[in-house]
Structure 1
Amino acid sequence: MSLPNLLAGCLIALHLLACQTEDDRPAFADLTTPQIQLNQVGYYPDQPVRFTFADTSAPARPVDFQPRTVYYVTDSTGDTTLVEGRLSDTLDWTTLAGVMAQTATADPLPVGTYRIFIPDVGYSPAFRVAEDVLHPAFIGSLRGLYYQRAGQSLPERHAGAYARAAGHPDTLARYHSSSGHTGGTFSSPGGWYDAGDFNKYIVNGAFPVGQLLALYEDVGDPAPDGSLNIPESGNGKSDYLDEVKYELDWMLTMQDDDGGLYHKLTTLNFAGMVMPEEATEPRYAVGKSVTATFDFAGATAQAARVYRAYDAAYADRLLAAARRAWQWGLAHPDAFFRNPDDVSTGEYGDSNADDERAWAAAELFATTGEQEFYNDLQARPPNVRAGTGWNGYMANLAAFTLLRHPERVPREYLSRLDGLVETLADSLVQAIDRTAYYQPLQQFRWGSNSDVMNDAMLIAAAHRQHPRPEYVAAMRDCMNYVLGHNPNGVCYLTGFGTRSPQYIHHRQSAADGIDAPVPGLLSGGPNTGQQDREDTRYKPGAAPMQSWADQTPSYASNEICLNWNAPFTYVAGFLGAYPLAR
């Protein structure tokens, strides 16, 4: 052993001895500290290991922070020292993250399991270095969608401990007066529960479908038959497309005879924290909207392209439905949705359908090549942007699709889009390099973790056109943040990492009697709005990045949602599968 390693080993041994007596030797976990924050899932063998030392136990004051000098990379047991390095100068991250901090970036490590040790502080959680390091989390995020299936029991052979009875068959759903129908019922089974509640929404079903199908188009089949252990496994077709089809099949039932889409299928009010089969209030098709209709057109037109080889007749059905929706959207440009007075479930309201229309036009054009759709895109080009809320990313999907199919798009138009995406991606890379915890956000709103992942998707789009190592590093930094390199020291994907959310706002997880929540679901993340503050105990005076609470009532910071899982799935799948990303 070299002299530096010998000295480091001695320091670790002294630290351990200081923590022990002959009669009271602490468990190894007692030496693990949340003050060392890193990606708890792990790193690729060619990826530098970036981590932070910060004390979040009390409000940060510069005079209280005691900087350290060195760190050591050890094996998973802490017994063998492999690398010695120096921590950075002290960084003032109080405004955004609420911490004084030091960072370091260790050189890439060989395949194995490691910890970071800082004398007088402790050990980091263990982390892996592996060629497929993100694959389990990628698969987990897809399995999270399976656990959200409505109208279907989840048997133990597929769901394990999270097996449950079927809830919400939705074969006798009612028409709300806002739907344009009076009385009667219709059948609308299947689909995914949208979030922690049991309702189903077209806007927030179509958007995740588009993101998931984008990954399939960009990297090929990321979860072939047999990958996901779902009921369709073994049918000779892609498990990935099988799972997405479960949502698409439901979406098709929500199209009215005139081509418009009912905005959502819900109860009048949210159910209590019960299992799905115990929530038996009547469910209604509520409203029709131009945003839901254009989103449906975008998702089904894209799906028609993707599913052509899977099932040609199904692809034809999807494209016909997309065309009918497009025509309804053109005829009803002001049909914006607002909750009726007697409905209090999620609104997904929007007063501008430009983004949704651009996405629908882009997908229809990429699938058909018809001039009508390109003319509409020329008149209303997609407003690509970063750091926006969920309803602004549809325009990004439009741009990504057009860049993905350059054979369809005139060069001048394509060049403008390409330049815009590249410029935005470069600005995100710069923001990540200078922002606390090396992530792109300055504002933390509802679903901020999905904002981080959606920005990483934009960087991925630029990387597909202009492969650059700084794009890969930025996407990995975004993933690091979500998986544990944050001031809360939390891997926000349930069931992964050493410390993940235990009390997500999710009805099955609250009601099933199992201590751990349903795995593979992404917590929404810090939210300065704290709309649930009356029922949630946030850290007093929490900085924006610490405005998160692992408490079941915290729907504003700790709920899960389809459109939060989907961009995580995309980025994890892209980093693991796309050749130019490795």
Structure 2
Amino acid sequence: MFAGFFRTAMCLLILTGLVSCGGGGGSSNTAPTPIPQPQPEPEPEPPVTVVGEGPFIVVDQFGYLPDAKKIAVLRDPVTGFDSEDTYTPGASLQVVNTLDNSVVFSGSATPWLDGEIAATSGDRIWLFDFSSVTATGNYQIVDTEQDLRSPAFAINDNVYREVLVQAVRTFFYQRAGHTKTEQFAGASWADDASHMGPLQDANARRYNSPDDEGSERDLHGGWYDAGDYNKYTNWTASYIVDLLHAYRENTHVWTDDFNIPESGNGVPDLLDEVKWGLDSLIRMQNADGSVLSIVGLASASPPSSATGASLYGDASTSATLSSAAAFAYGAKVFAALSTPEFNSYAADLRTRALRAWNWANANPAVIFRNNDEAAGTAGLGAGQQEVDDTERGFKRLVAAIYLYDLTGDISYRDYVDANYQTAPMFANWWLSPFRASIQRPLLYYTALDDATAATADAIRNRYVELWEGDDGWGAATNRRDPYGAFISDYTWGSNAVTSLAGGMFADQQTYNLGQRDTAQIRNAAAGYLHYLHGVNPLGKVYLSNMGDFGAENSVDQFYHTWFAHGSALWDSVSNSAYGPPPGFLVGGPNPSYDWDERCPGVSSLCGSAQPQPPYGQPAQKSYTDFNNSWPLNSWSVTENSNGYQTAYIRLLARYVK
């Protein structure tokens, strides 16, 4: 193009007489000697800085509180399934108001650890701090040089309110024996009451006496535990305790308008949900104070179509101690409502807690192992709810704490004083979110009136000392995980561990531990929320179907009997009519994932290789949205659990007004 333009210009000069087209004579036919043409320098190729789909800029897709620390993570994948993607941030980044596209902040990103590759993600990371942006609004992070934008996010004083509502409502969807009308469940997930047919929950029979009418018990109610429909007493009791703590740690959050059947009755909806769980434990308690261990429920999709019999397991010491703690703490909280109805309810719970404690003391080692061929219980339930001697000792210690809180009886305090040092934080100098079930009740003991001062001081001091180490404040202040949510190991249920780790920071504010100020504590704990809300290598909000609530990339499908693989209605958000309901927290990245050991030779369902991801990836990339059952066994990665949910709710509620 340039040479053609040059020749045309020369002709114009000839026509104007400024240049001659001929040689020396007018009659010569000899062509003129060509004039050398200047050649343009080739344009330099721009450096390749973006390859692939990313995500490259990850943020909390719901948003941030105005006074919170706000850090976007920019990522260049180096190892893992996305290693062929490439991104190098531009020299300047912008925070843009999506309403009018105005730039409210500009700055540069800082390399994490001078460009070191993060082992848990396989990513090279840059951090972009935009904490100075505090005005209410909706925003994106923009790399104009690379023409990239983050997902949109909000900044406001109550940015997580609707997220909390949806997370709590998952317990309504998990209710067994309760009609889910369109008014409360929505047309997409309406269903008749499940497991209320012949020989089901209202007429459940003993696991080894399915033909014995005399063994029938009314055990209706309660919650499906996870993606299976079984009801496990040890775990149900722990969910109740966690939800009660979530209530008491931020009582003004819990309003009466979460759109469940009890909404509008004058009682916070969270307590209505807790009561649903407590009522089911009441039905599980025997007259002597012992508590049945499990009810195994039939599977089907939707739940109301399940027709198989419900079978229950025998009472156990562990189930009875777990229930004693739940009854005792429930009695404390419901008595504080100070109404005639709940005064009576609390008094009944108190009596049940004492009876359970007394039976467990008289029967300290009654074991019931479900789904155990050697024990004759194969097929009863799925997960193993029974515990060993050490864990049973921890359950006794926890029950004593809540009974002391309820009664003020010093015999329970004496038991705590004599046994608190058996906890791992004392016995093994190990403070970890993996042991939150014993550590958090011990912290609660330190705040009780008339707790033994020496015991309380020992617990508080040991907690502070250990959490100042590399896995606690050392990890937070040094940003040991570039995504801001360090945990020591990624295992089955890593998202629950992440929630619990965030809770361990938040607990320092609740119990006034250490020398950290409120802003430090809240920002450290919030980093774990941000991770679950999208600040992770996948840019994934680890809650289901949250597109209507601000998430650009939330969980599309997860393992659950109701929302089963292949269901035309509920399989996935993107490829079925409805997908699963909003708000379920999935298990999360699990680098130990593998398909069934009999693959690929036995079953044609396996495929030629394990799905990657989650298989064979850096820890934080060991996740994908899938809900295949056997033999791909997605449950170890994507299944929900009420335990994951309560850990998340308890953390999230601290950031809601």
Aligned residues of 1:525 and 1:558 also touching (Cα < 8 A)? yes
Higher alpha-carbon deviation: 424-433 or 444-453: 424-433
**Secondary structure, aligned partner of 1:393:** helix
The 5 A counterparts of 1:200-215 are 200-215=231-246
**Secondary structure, aligned partner of 1:100:** strand
Partner of 2:402: 363
Partner of 2:552: 498
Partner of 2:440: 397
Q: Deviations over 1:331-355 (max 9, x none)?
A: 3333344223222512133213122
- 1:64–1:43 distance in 2 versus 1, CA, 3 Å: closer
Identify the match of residue 459 of structure 1 among 498, 505, 523: 505
- 1:121–1:271 distance in 2 versus 1, CA, 3 Å: farther
**Counterpart of 1:40 in structure 2: which amino acid?**
Q
Q: CA deviation at 1:32?
A: 8.8
Partner of 1:134: 160
Structure 2 gap ranges (5+): 1-51, 571-576, 600-605, 629-633
Identify the match of residue 349 of structure 2 among 310, 313, 318: 318
Query: For the residues of structure 2 that align with 1:296 and 1:443, how far apart are their CA atoms?
Result: 30
Query: For the residues of structure 1 that align with 2:119 and 2:98, how far apart are their CA atoms?
Result: 34
Query: For the residues of structure 1 that align with 2:556 and 2:369, how far apart are their CA atoms?
Result: 34
Query: For the residues of structure 2 that align with 1:57 and 1:522, how far apart are their CA atoms?
Result: 28
- 1:557–1:63 distance in 2 versus 1, CA, 3 Å: closer
Query: For the residues of structure 1 that align with 2:593 and 2:247, how far apart are their CA atoms?
Result: 35
Q: CA deviation at 1:236?
A: 1.9
The 5 A counterparts of 1:32-181 are 34-56=55-77, 59=80, 66=88, 68-76=90-98, 79-89=101-111, 91-109=115-133, 110-118=135-143, 119-120=145-146, 122-160=148-186, 161-169=188-196, 170-177=201-208
**Counterpart of 1:486 in structure 2: which amino acid?**
N
Identify the match of residue 476 of structure 1 among 502, 526, 529: 526
**Counterpart of 1:451 in structure 2: which amino acid?**
V
Higher alpha-carbon deviation: 396-405 or 557-566: 396-405
Higher alpha-carbon deviation: 322-331 or 302-311: 322-331
Q: CA deviation at 1:77?
A: 5.9
- 1:368–1:452 distance in 2 versus 1, CA, 3 Å: same
Q: CA deviation at 1:316?
A: 1.1
Query: For the residues of structure 2 that align with 1:491 and 1:222, how far apart are their CA atoms?
Result: 23
Instruction: Find out whether 1:345 has 2:382 as its counterpart.
Output: yes
- 1:565–1:379 distance in 2 versus 1, CA, 3 Å: same
Partner of 2:626: 551
Partner of 1:271: 299
Query: For the residues of structure 1 that align with 2:641 and 2:77, how far apart are their CA atoms?
Result: 27
Q: Deviations over 1:36-83 (max 9, x none)?
A: 111111100011221111144963779966454322111226832221
Partner of 1:447: 493
Query: For the residues of structure 2 that align with 1:408 and 1:531, how far apart are their CA atoms?
Result: 51
How many residues of Structure 1 are paired with residues of Structure 2 in the alignment? 539
The 5 A counterparts of 1:210-229 are 210-225=241-256, 227-229=257-259
Q: Deviations over 1:81-124 (max 9, x none)?
A: 22111111253344211212212211232110000112325111
Query: For the residues of structure 2 that align with 1:222 and 1:230, how far apart are their CA atoms?
Result: 16
**Counterpart of 2:123 in structure 1: which amino acid?**
V
Aligned residues of 1:194 and 1:562 also touching (Cα < 8 A)? yes
- 1:404–1:456 distance in 2 versus 1, CA, 3 Å: farther
Query: For the residues of structure 1 that align with 2:579 and 2:100, how far apart are their CA atoms?
Result: 28
Aligned residues of 1:221 and 1:238 also touching (Cα < 8 A)? no
Instruction: Find out whether 1:417 has 2:443 as its counterpart.
Output: no
Q: CA deviation at 1:370?
A: 0.5
Partner of 1:542: 617
**Secondary structure, aligned partner of 2:420:** coil
Q: Return the TM-score normalized by structure 2.
A: 0.77
Aligned residues of 1:40 and 1:483 also touching (Cα < 8 A)? yes
Query: For the residues of structure 2 that align with 1:551 and 1:77, how far apart are their CA atoms?
Result: 35
Aligned residues of 2:79 and 2:618 also touching (Cα < 8 A)? no
Q: Deviations over 1:7-27 (max 9, x none)?
A: xxxxxxxxxxxxxxxxxxxxx
- 1:58–1:543 distance in 2 versus 1, CA, 3 Å: closer
Q: CA deviation at 1:289?
A: 2.5
**Secondary structure, aligned partner of 1:399:** helix
Identify the match of residue 468 of structure 2 among 426, 450, 457: 426
Aligned residues of 1:94 and 1:543 also touching (Cα < 8 A)? no
Query: For the residues of structure 2 that align with 1:332 and 1:380, how far apart are their CA atoms?
Result: 19
**Counterpart of 1:538 in structure 2: which amino acid?**
Q
- 1:324–1:75 distance in 2 versus 1, CA, 3 Å: same
Query: For the residues of structure 1 that align with 2:118 and 2:264, how far apart are their CA atoms?
Result: 52
- 1:294–1:106 distance in 2 versus 1, CA, 3 Å: same
Partner of 1:24: none
- 1:195–1:387 distance in 2 versus 1, CA, 3 Å: same
- 1:207–1:498 distance in 2 versus 1, CA, 3 Å: same
Identify the match of residue 522 of structure 1 among 559, 563, 585: 585
**Secondary structure, aligned partner of 2:116:** strand
Q: CA deviation at 1:412?
A: 1.5
Partner of 1:300: 327
Higher alpha-carbon deviation: 125-134 or 349-358: 349-358
Q: CA deviation at 1:445?
A: 1.0
- 1:337–1:448 distance in 2 versus 1, CA, 3 Å: farther
Query: For the residues of structure 1 that align with 2:543 and 2:85, how far apart are their CA atoms?
Result: 34
Aligned residues of 1:178 and 1:287 also touching (Cα < 8 A)? no
Partner of 2:312: 285
**Secondary structure, aligned partner of 2:73:** strand
- 1:182–1:93 distance in 2 versus 1, CA, 3 Å: farther
**Counterpart of 1:112 in structure 2: which amino acid?**
G
Structure 1 gap ranges (5+): 1-30, 578-582
Partner of 2:282: 252
Identify the match of residue 655 of structure 2 among 558, 563, 575: 575
Q: CA deviation at 1:408?
A: 2.7
Backbone CA RMSD of aligned residues? 2.5
**Secondary structure, aligned partner of 1:508:** coil
Looking at CA atoms only, which structure, 1 or 2, has the larger radius of gyration?
2
Identify the match of residue 234 of structure 1 among 264, 268, 282: 264
Query: For the residues of structure 1 that align with 2:552 and 2:265, how far apart are their CA atoms?
Result: 35
Q: CA deviation at 1:33?
A: 5.2
Q: CA deviation at 1:525?
A: 0.7
- 1:545–1:63 distance in 2 versus 1, CA, 3 Å: closer
Q: Taking every aligned residue pair, what percent have the same amino acid on both sides?
A: 26
Query: For the residues of structure 2 that align with 1:182 and 1:329, how far apart are their CA atoms?
Result: 28
Partner of 1:27: none
Q: Return the TM-score normalized by structure 1.
A: 0.87
**Secondary structure, aligned partner of 1:40:** coil
Aligned residues of 2:321 and 2:395 also touching (Cα < 8 A)? yes
Q: Deviations over 1:262-299 (max 9, x none)?
A: 221114xx735x21012221111123322222111111
